Structures are given as C-alpha cells and as structure tokens.
C-alpha cells in the first residue's frame, strides 16, 4: 500500500499505514456508527447460527433477489472471499463484500440502513456482510429500474455492478468487466476456512454495458506502452522530482485492482503509485508519470517508482504467475529506461524503504522467482 510524507497526520493500521483520510474517519466514526444503530458490545452470534459462505451467498441472493453468481463474483473480485477478520482495506472497506466507509463513499453505512444490522457486525460478521453487499447491489438495481424479469438476467446487472465499485467513468467499467470475466469463465476458490466456492461458467453471457462509460480505458501510457493510462488525482502526487531516481518499490494494494485505481483518483486519498498490476491476468495501469513523484513510500518518494500489486499480503492466492511475469517485465523496462540496477538493493519491498513501518509485499511474495524474471 502507498503512503506519502507531509504535514498531514497518519494513523497506523493493520499491515500498512492508513491514508490521511483516516483522520477524517476517526473524527466521524462515532456519528456514523450511532446513525447505523451500532453499539460498543462485542460481535454478536450469527442471527441464524453459523452459516457456511455458500449458505450465506444463497440466503442473501434469495433475500434481495440478486443472482447468486453475480453476488459471488463481486465478492471474489473484491477479496477472494476473505473477510480479513474485520480489518480494513486501503480504502477503508470491510468484509468479503468490501463494504466501504470513507469520506467519499459510505456503502457500509448504507448496508446498515438497508439490513438493520449494526456497522460493527457488518464489518466483522461474514454472513451479515454478504447480506449487506446484496442489499447494496439490489439498491443500485432498483435505482436503475431493473424489474423482476430483469433481475433474473445476469447480463442486466452489469450497470449495478459498475455502480457498486464506487468508481467513476472507465474505472467503474474496468471493475464490472473483471466481475463479468469471472462470470463468463467461471471460478473455483477456497476460503481461508477451507470451504470450496464455485461459480459456473456463463460463456454466452452478454453484459448490458449501455450507460457505463469507457472513458479513458483506451488511452495508452507514454512511459510503458503495455500499460493503460488512468491519471491519479493531482492532490495525490507532485509534479517533478527533487532527487535522482534510483529504486523501484514493490507494494501490495490491500484491495482490488479497480478499487485501488479508484482510490488513487480520489482527492481525499493523498496517496498514489506509478503503476498498478492486476492479479488475474497481469494487466497494468499507470497512474503517475515516471518523471513525477507519487506518494507511496514516505522518505523514498522522491527517489523511487512505486508498483502496486492487487491483493492482500496475508493471502498468496493473489500472487499469480501472470502477475509476477507482467510486473517483472514492467520492472525490467523501468530499470533499463532509468538506469536502475536490477538487484535487491535497488528493487525493494515497501517494508524495506527507509523510514517506513509497512509490511508489504509480505512473506508470501516470492522474491527469488520475481528477481529471476526481472533479470530475464
């Protein structure tokens, strides 16, 4: 995960340091929780006993008339079905369905209003969280005018999925396309508890992309031709550099690909990275030009390039061969272009950057394989 150096206060958070937006969240959290009916007591038992994740998906799909496979594909795309014990993502999202509470997006509080569950329970209880995600998806479908017949059509849910992302323009389309790639190809996954979850392949599925903008997705990077160019908000980086570029910093997003891109486009984030790499196929998006200073590694910002990798440091399922190969090709290109030695003194993890307290890319990142690929 990225961070910056500056006068704004930063609050430590699990596996990474929170973004500056956390200060706003800290000041407003009590009001948000109270409004949603939360209390200060420990997590309560499941309302219907202990449910498996498959049972929760089926129950939530039935309760809110959301196709079970759409709900599952969204959850897998967000977290690989891992709720991370109620710990927040980089964008302050929680649970399998990544219900978000930050200054610009409040799906966690929306889910509380729609389901009657407390914010505290939605953060930590997987069954409640999945029902909350289904309720938010259904609310988007209702606003789009999907009737009962439409809701039976998986393709008709595409605009609702795009809205669920909370992203703008082409980034929302990028998010929805990822979900629909899982739906078309199918998926098989195993939860951290060992439960197997499957989504059938819907090979003939035709998503309704009408009304979902693709603006910006066709733009190519000038620094790395194989990357898309989706610029970060100007509040999240600085033009130019104050120091010589001499290192590349490897990060893990603590969130999804499209979600991280959206977060770096949010002026409240005050963090960014030069590049973001997708887990499933190694797609690369550039967000800050090489010549500019992204806010990703504190005191190393001015002298480094930052590459974010989709996923979570405690879940090795995100670190695919496609991701390693694509990222290594990017790192090799950047090292050659900027005269950076291809060794571990100059290609480092976020945890190794001077003055940082982060732990990414974490113990599951295979440095030996990665550096072998970087060196060709």
Q: Tens-of-pLDDT digits for all 376 residues of the chain?
A: 766 553 232 222 333 333 333 333 333 333 333 333 333 333 333 444 479 999 999 999 999 999 999 999 999 999 999 999 999 999 999 999 999 999 999 999 999 999 999 999 999 999 999 999 999 999 999 999 999 999 999 999 999 999 999 998 899 999 999 999 999 999 999 999 999 999 999 999 999 999 899 888 889 999 999 999 999 999 999 999 999 999 999 999 999 999 999 999 999 999 999 999 999 999 999 999 999 999 999 999 999 999 999 999 999 999 999 999 999 999 999 999 999 999 999 999 999 998 888 999 999 999 999 999 999 8
Residue 30: C-alpha distances to residues 22, 109, 119 (Å): 13, 12, 11
Q: What are the residue numbers of the active site?
A: 308
Query: Can you give the residue ranges of every domain in the chain?
Result: 36-199, 218-374
Cα(309)–Cα(301) distance, integer angstroms: 17
Residue 35 is predicted with a pLDDT of 32
What is the C-alpha end-to-end distance of the chain, expressed in Å? Answer: 26
CB of 282 closer than 8 Å to CB of 312: no
Dihedral pair phi/psi, residue 103, rounded to 5°: -60, -20
User: What is the C-alpha to C-alpha distance for residues 66 and 154, in angstroms, rounded to an integer?
Assistant: 9
Beta strand 237-238 pairing with 293-294 = antiparallel
- CATH number for the region 218-374 comes to 3.40.80.10
Task: Name the packing angle between helices 321-338 and 367-374 (round to 10°).
Answer: 50
CA distance 358 to 341: 24
Kindly report the pTM of this predicted structure.
Answer: 0.85
pLDDT of residue 4: 59
| Topology at the third CATH level for domain 36-199 | Lysozyme (1.10.530)
In DSSP terms, 250 is beta-bridged to 307, 349
**In angstroms, what CA-CA distances link 185 with 154, 182, 293?**
14, 5, 38
């Amino acid at each position: 995960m990225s961070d910056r150096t500056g006068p704004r206060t930063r609050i430590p958070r699990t596996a990474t340091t929170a973004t500056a937006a956390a200060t706003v969240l800290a000041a407003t959290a009590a009001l948000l929780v109270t409004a949603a009916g939360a209390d200060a007591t420990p997590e309560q038992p499941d309302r219907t006993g202990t449910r498996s994740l498959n049972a929760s998906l089926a129950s939530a799909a039935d309760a809110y008339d959301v196709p079970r496979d759409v709900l599952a594909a969204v959850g897998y795309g967000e977290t690989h079905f891992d709720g991370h014990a109620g710990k927040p993502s980089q964008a302050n999202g929680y649970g399998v369905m990544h219900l978000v509470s930050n200054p610009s997006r409040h799906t966690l509080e929306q889910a509380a209003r729609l389901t009657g569950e407390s914010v505290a329970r939605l953060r930590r209880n997987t069954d409640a969280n999945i029902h909350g995600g289904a309720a938010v998806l259904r609310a988007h479908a209702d606003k789009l005018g999907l009737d009962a017949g439409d809701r039976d059509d998986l393709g008709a849910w595409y605009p609702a999925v795009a809205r669920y992302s909370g992203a703008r323009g082409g980034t929302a389309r990028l998010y929805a396309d990822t979900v629909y790639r899982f739906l078309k190809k199918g998926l098989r996954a195993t939860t951290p508890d060992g439960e197997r979850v499957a989504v059938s392949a819907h090979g003939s599925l035709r998503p309704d992309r009408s009304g979902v903008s693709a603006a910006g997705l066709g733009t190519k990077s000038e620094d790395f031709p194989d990357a898309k160019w989706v610029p970060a908000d100007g509040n999240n980086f600085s033009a130019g550099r104050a120091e010589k570029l001499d290192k590349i910093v490897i990060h893990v997003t603590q969130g999804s690909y499209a979600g991280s891109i959206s977060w770096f486009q949010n002026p409240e984030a005050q963090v960014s990275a030069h590049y973001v790499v997708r887990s499933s196929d190694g797609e690369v998006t550039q967000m800050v030009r090489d010549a500019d200073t992204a806010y990703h590694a504190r005191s190393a910002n001015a002298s480094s390039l930052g590459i974010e990798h989709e996923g979570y440091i405690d879940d090795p399922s995100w670190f695919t061969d496609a991701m390693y190969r694509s990222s290594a090709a990017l790192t090799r290109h950047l090292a050659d272009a900027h005269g950076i030695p291809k060794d571990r003194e100059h290609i480092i993890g976020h945890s190794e950057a001077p003055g940082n307290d982060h732990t990414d890319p974490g113990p599951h990142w295979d440095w030996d394989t990665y550096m072998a690929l970087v060196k060709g």
